[in-house]
């Protein structure tokens, strides 16, 4: 049985708190699930500033500083937008680290180029940003859950 203290989010928060680092999230297709997972851990307020659910392109631009040009050329579901979401969140909210998620959770909205389950995740820190592409399977809930799991795994890999 996995306990709260064994969870990836708990381990992340422990490391961040012990190092005095602050985290922020920027979510689209996960709709706040990532932030929910983080704040479900007692003591999250010691290192988690909060998160933004920027589902619309307007909020991606207004709140996170994603370029309208990037949105129109690459599309909301792209590595470029994931990077700009993560970097914008980190910069605008004065965090040490940020994680951003954008994708197609389904069941609609997919295309040949960007199928349901396609997700881009970015982790930004002072001095860099990693972006990864994932193709998850399953229903909407499963895609969102897998995306949150992958985002936490990327964050954990970055801070180890």
Which pLDDT score, from 0 to 100, does residue 2 have? 40
pLDDT score of 5: 64
Q: For the chain, what is the domain count?
A: 1
Percent of the chain whose pLDDT exceeds 90:
95
Give 18-50 pLDDT, tens digit per residue.
999 999 999 999 999 999 999 999 999 999 999
Range list of H helices, 20-139: 33-39, 57-64, 68-74, 79-92
Q: What is the pLDDT of residue 35?
A: 98
> What ranges make up the beta strands (E) of the chain?
23-27, 48-53, 97-103, 118-125, 128-135
Please give the mean pLDDT across all residues of the chain.
Answer: 96
Which pLDDT band, with edges at 50, 70 and 90, does 6 fall under? confident
- Per-residue confidence band for 61, with pLDDT thresholds at 50, 70 and 90: very high
Q: Look at residues 119, 97, 116 and name the one whose alpha carbon lies nearest to residue 30.
A: 119
Model confidence pLDDT, tens digit, residues 116-156: 999 999 999 999 999 999 999 999 999 999 999 999 999 99
The answer to whether the predicted template modeling score (pTM) of the entire model surpasses 0.85 is: yes
Which residues form the domain of 132?
A: 4-159
List the CATH number of the domain containing 11: 3.90.950.20
């Amino acid at each position: 049985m996995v306990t709260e203290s064994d969870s990836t989010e708990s381990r992340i928060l422990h490391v961040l708190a012990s190092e005095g680092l602050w985290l922020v999230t920027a979510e689209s297709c996960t709709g706040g699930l990532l932030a929910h997972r983080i704040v479900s851990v007692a003591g999250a307020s010691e290192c988690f500033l909060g998160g933004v659910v920027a589902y619309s392109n307007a909020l991606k631009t207004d709140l996170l500083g994603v370029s309208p040009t990037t949105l129109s050329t690459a599309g909301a579901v792209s590595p470029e937008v994931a990077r700009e979401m993560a970097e914008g969140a980190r910069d605008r909210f004065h965090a040490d680290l940020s994680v951003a998620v954008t994708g197609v959770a389904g069941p609609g909205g997919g295309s040949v180029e960007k199928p349901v389950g396609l997700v881009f995740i970015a982790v930004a820190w002072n001095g860099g940003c990693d972006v990864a592409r994932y193709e998850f399977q399953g229903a909407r809930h499963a895609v969102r859950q897998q995306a949150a799991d992958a985002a936490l795994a990327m964050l954990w890999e970055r801070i180890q």
